[in-house]
Amino acid sequence: MKYQNPDIESSYAEHDLGKDLYEAVLKHKPKKIIEFGCLYGYSTIAMAMALEELRQGKIIVYDLFDKYQYKHSTKKVTQENINKYGLQKYVELKDMDFEKWLKNPEPFDMMHFDISNNGEKLEHLYGAVKPFIDQGAMVYFEGGTKERDNIDWMNKYGFKKMTESNVPYEVVNAKFPSLSLIKKI
Ligand SMILES: C[S@@+](CC[C@H](N)C(=O)[O-])C[C@H]1O[C@@H](n2cnc3c(N)ncnc32)[C@H](O)[C@@H]1O
């Protein structure tokens, strides 16, 4: 499926960061993608468009859905958005808390991590998935720039900044809210 900026509410939409996720999938050709944090499905749909183009692969999406106390979607609404694009065969939505998943992480080829990220969450993720990264898995995550680190709620709650974390990464697209990549060094 040719890429189009998904018509779904998302902080990624203004600068079309979905295109970077789409291109990442075409480049790495992952058989198994894990996504943490889909909200209404913007990033999921962007990646699934590339799987449709490749005619292979699956995205396992973990989210808290209506158990998340801040801005969230329901599984039903997000599933309907994915269906509107005809991409349901590439996506499985599951209820899962990232903190729980960390206790028994499963392997993957590519991950997109977007759960109101901060430096601490990023360090927890990296600690758990480093063995997979060392075997070639790619981890894309929302954020990674100083601009993103300095948004209101990061400063208000005093969260650790991603730019000050001990996680080695490169910024793929610096346009707000930015997208970054952790890969084997
Ligand atoms: C910023 S939104 C994701 C945006 C989405 N990727 C997009 O393209 O628009 C954050 C999402 O993370 C989910 N979330 C927050 N904490 C979580 C956790 N501990 N485990 C799983 N999902 C979580 C929320 O329910 C919400 O849907």
Measure 168 CA to ligand 1 centroid, in angstroms: 22
Separation between Cα atoms, residue 3 and residue 19, nearest integer Å: 7
3-state secondary structure of 19: helix
Mean pLDDT value across the chain: 98
The class that CATH gives domain 18-182 is: alpha beta
Separation between Cα atoms, residue 131 and residue 24, nearest integer Å: 21
Separation between Cα atoms, residue 16 and residue 19, nearest integer Å: 6
Per domain, the residue ranges of the chain are 18-182
Residue nearest to atom 13 of ligand 1 (CA): 37
Measure 35 CA to ligand 1 centroid, in angstroms: 9
Query: Looking at the predicted structure, is the pLDDT value of residue 1 above 90?
Result: no
Phi and psi at residue 150, to the nearest 5°: -105, 15
pLDDT range class, residue 41, cuts 50, 70, 90: very high
Phi and psi at residue 171, to the nearest 5°: -80, 125
- Counting ligand 1 atoms within 8 A of each CB, the residue from 12, 33, 44, 64 with the most, and so the one to mutate, is 64
With vertex at residue 134, the alpha carbon angle to CA 130 and CA 135, rounded to the nearest 5 degrees, is: 120
Residue 21: predicted pLDDT: 98
Measure 182 CA to ligand 1 centroid, in angstroms: 19
Stated pTM of the model: 0.98
